[in-house]
Amino acid sequence: MIIVMKQGATPTNVESVVNRVEELGYKVHLSRGEARVIVGIIGADDYLVRSATFEVMDGVEKTVRVMQPYKLASRDFSQTDTVIDVGGVPIGGKRIAVMAGPCSVESREMVLEIAHAVKEAGATILRGGAFKPRSSPYSFQGLGEEGLRYLAEAREETGLPIITEVMTPGDVELVGDYADIFQVGARNTQNYSLLKALGKTDKPVFLKRGISGSIQELLMSAEYILSGGNMRVMVCERGIRTYETATRNTFDINAIPVLKQLTHLPVVADPSHGTGKWDLVGPVAKAGVAAGADALMIEVHPQPERAWSDGAQSLTLDHFAELMRELEAVAQAVGREI
Ligand code: PEP
Ligand code: MN
């Protein structure tokens, strides 16, 4: 349940409401919008809270029962789109953020080369996996901390913030020492101990939709992180498993506008994993932007045919630069910038 404060509510009014909620034994989350403050009550029994008749308190406009099982992630909680600042790069808002880089960090030279090239082409964030969730235990598992060091060096050289995957709660501290954004992969969307650990951190979290996960399950996973106190979460459509075998996954374009309706969190499209084929990445990236995505995640590799993972869906550096140019017109057509 949320309590919407009046536009002119004073700090004392807000404090009294917060005190009353805490007296009832619940946790509070305050959202300070441009015009008004919203008091979110976490874990509240609606009847109990309602019986406390918050409506009669000074400065309170109304109480709203959030019908969805996710509360802090819902549009009811915040009408305004959340914008996450990552080292000066906004995610959400008018400008579409582009996270580009290799599927896996393979070597220092390769990451530095890619970082410079994607920055030159207009990417705003560097991606790269150091801990890789591979379907086979015999596949390359990532360089681990060595890979994180190369990413950090690439950030030093280019100024691009870095996003990289964390797979277990035990790695949160180590990955957090290097990363600007934690990535939670599709295989870990419902790894609740990981989500709880990330809820206690103060770094943004990029949460992918599960391979066979519904949109509601994705938002419930986001809720785990938000309810832990970390409000900087973005959600990503990366394709789901269907009966279709022509592509690696089926990119659910519907998920983009549906998520924009249901949540205030930034919505990201990942056409690389969404299609699994490099020549489909451009069309689906454009569709994602047209459908309202706030950011894109795109895999690039200087020599995709030699990539240690996901080569088939990786763009060459030239193809990536070309796509960035083409995306400008699409972004403009829907009132965005890239
Ligand atoms: C990745 O981003 O390289 C990755 C492993 O993605 P996903 O979790 O969507 O499969
Ligand atoms: Mn990948």
Q: Domain ranges in the chain?
A: 2-64, 84-333
CATH number at 84-333: 3.20.20.70
Mean pLDDT rounded to a whole number for the chain? 95
CA distance 125 to 101: 8
Q: Is residue 46 predicted with pLDDT exceeding 80?
A: no
Provide the pLDDT confidence category of residue 132 given band limits of 50, 70 and 90: very high
Tell me, using a 6 A CB cutoff, whether residue 208 lines ligand 1: yes
Q: Is residue 271 predicted with pLDDT exceeding 90?
A: yes
Q: What pLDDT digit, counting tens, does each position of 67-104 carry?
A: 889 989 999 888 899 999 999 999 999 999 999 999 99
Q: Which of 40-54, 63-77, 120-134 has the lowest mean pLDDT?
A: 40-54
152 residue type, one letter: A
Ligand nearest to the CA of 270: 1
Ligand nearest to the CA of 128: 1
Tell me, using a 6 A CB cutoff, whether residue 248 lines ligand 1: no
Tell me, using a 6 A CB cutoff, whether residue 133 lines ligand 1: yes
* Residue 184 alpha carbon to ligand 1 centre in Å: 8
Which residue has better confidence, 18 or 76?
A: 18
Give start and end residues of each alpha helix (H) in the chain.
Answer: 11-23, 46-51, 108-121, 145-158, 172-178, 192-199, 215-227, 255-262, 271-275, 278-290, 317-333
Closest atom, ligand 1, to C-alpha of 127: 2
One of 3.30.70.1140, 3.40.190.10, 3.40.50.720, 3.40.920.10 is the CATH number of 2-64, namely: 3.30.70.1140
Give nearest CA residue, ligand 1 atom 6.
185
Q: Is residue 294 predicted with pLDDT exceeding 90?
A: yes
Closest atom, ligand 1, to C-alpha of 104: 3
Q: Which of 165, 182, 206 best tests ligand 1's pocket when mutated (most atoms within 8 Å of CB)?
A: 165
Tell me, using a 6 A CB cutoff, whether residue 40 lines ligand 1: no
pTM value is 0.93
In this chain, the answer to whether the domains covering 2-64 and 84-333 adopt an identical fold is no
Average pLDDT over residues 266-271: 99
* Residue 49 alpha carbon to ligand 1 centre in Å: 41
Residue with tokens 């990413």: 151
CA distance 85 to 95: 12
Ligand nearest to the CA of 310: 2
Give nearest CA residue, ligand 1 atom 4.
185
Q: What is the pLDDT of residue 133?
A: 96
